[in-house]
Structures are given as C-alpha cells and as structure tokens.
Amino acid sequence: MSYAKPLPSYLVQRYHGWKATTHSENRAWYKRLANEGQRPRAMVISCCDSRVHVTSIFGADQGEFFIHRNIANLVPAYAPDGDHHGTSAAIEYAVTALKVAHIIVLGHSNCGGIQGCLDMCTGNAPELEKSSSFVGRWMDILRPGYERVSQENDAASLPTALEKEAVVVSLENLMSFPFIEEAVTSGELTLHGLWTEIGEGTLECLDSNTREFSPL
C-alpha cells in the first residue's frame, strides 16, 4: 500500500517562501547552527495543542529551546522499567547530554487533554478507561492530582485547577529522576512551572512553596 503521499501544495508553497526569505537571509546563521551543534539553555515541556506557541511567546530563535510536547504537558514519574518512555528519554537527553540550565513545564487554558482527564475521572468517558486507550493511560499520571483538586474546587474552577495541578505534578515527577534531583541540588538546573491563558495571553508562574500561580 502506498501511504506516503506528496505534501499538500499549500505547505510546499509555504516552505519555498521560507527558504527564499528567512533561510536565505540568514544562511550563515543556519550553517553555524548545523556545524556547531545545539546548545539550548532551556528545555520546554508543553502540550501538543496547536494554540500553545512556545517559541512565539518567548520570541525564541532556532537553537534556543529543546522542546518536548505531549498530551497535557505531563511528566511521568521516574520508571526505569525498560519500556518505551518518550518523555523520559527527552528529559534524560536534555539534562545529561545537553546540560540545559532550565526546564520549563508550560500548561495552558482550555486544554483538551485535561478535559479528557476530568471526563474520565468523573465517569463520563468510558472509552478512556479502556486499557487500549493511549490517552486514557497517559492521563492516569494525573489521577492523584484530580483527587486532590476535585475536593477543593467546584465544577466551574476545576478545569483550570487541574491544568495547573498538571504542572505541579509534572515538576514533582521531574524531581523523582535521580539525575534531575542531583542537578537541582547542585544548582546546575532550575525547574519552572508556567500556565498560559490562551485568549488573554497571560502567563502565570508557579511558586512551589505555596503551590500558587501568579501573573508575570
């Protein structure tokens, strides 16, 4: 079966536009990036959601951020069990090989993954409870977080509270990786939790002592 087809023409056109302008005007910069390798200062873990535009928010160039995206910007706990762990692999490479100075976990408003977790935990999404649901089993990471925030929030505030809890849980799970705990303790690495409101463009930063987020 032939499954790999030519790219849609709108993407081909956009690519040629980029090559003729952005790339050709900065040819030396791209050559240098290619020859010298990457030295990103920060790793960003964000949601796959197409509205979360990390490089745009921070005005970042190529080479500045090592970015990993997954459903609901979650980090699983350290689990060296020989299984396939894409997020943990990205984290290991960023910290032990690239030696990034910062890891930023960026949550966001109106997150479909978080809504799915809420639906699952409230019994409204039986399809997510199936062992064959990759999304459901991934969102299991946040079940303990749901138990915590569901007791302190009403239906209206719960989605935002769980989006922020996902950031807190991810930072706690990051600290369960021995090489991260070591790098944080020695001061070589700092962790940061952020949450962005897509419509307003606001960005809030987590204080891990109070578990509160405040606007930047």
Residues that bind Zn ion (CB under 5 A): 47, 49, 111, 113
Min separation Cβ 196 and Zn ion, Å: 10
Cα 6 to Cα 3, 9, 17, 20, 183: the distances in Å are: 10, 9, 18, 21, 45
Q: Which is nearer to Zn ion, 95 or 171 (CB)?
A: 171
Q: Which is nearer to Zn ion, 113 or 136 (CB)?
A: 113
Whole-angstrom distance, CA of residue 169 vs CA of residue 107: 11
Find residue 212's DSSP bridge partners: 207
CA-wise closest residue to 203 among 189, 187, 186, 215: 215
Min separation Cβ 121 and Zn ion, Å: 16
Min separation Cβ 134 and Zn ion, Å: 15
User: Would you say 134 and 86 are in contact if contact means Cβ atoms under 8 Å apart?
Assistant: no
Q: Which is nearer to Zn ion, 113 or 145 (CB)?
A: 113
Whole-angstrom distance, CA of residue 172 vs CA of residue 20: 45
Whole-angstrom distance, CA of residue 82 vs CA of residue 141: 18
Q: Which is nearer to Zn ion, 17 or 86 (CB)?
A: 86
Min separation Cβ 115 and Zn ion, Å: 9
Min separation Cβ 175 and Zn ion, Å: 22
Whole-angstrom distance, CA of residue 74 vs CA of residue 4: 31
Q: Which is nearer to Zn ion, 95 or 111 (CB)?
A: 111
Min separation Cβ 101 and Zn ion, Å: 26
Q: Which is nearer to Zn ion, 111 or 158 (CB)?
A: 111
Find all residues with CB under 8 Å of 18, minimum gap 6, and list them: none
How many residues in total does the chain contain?
216
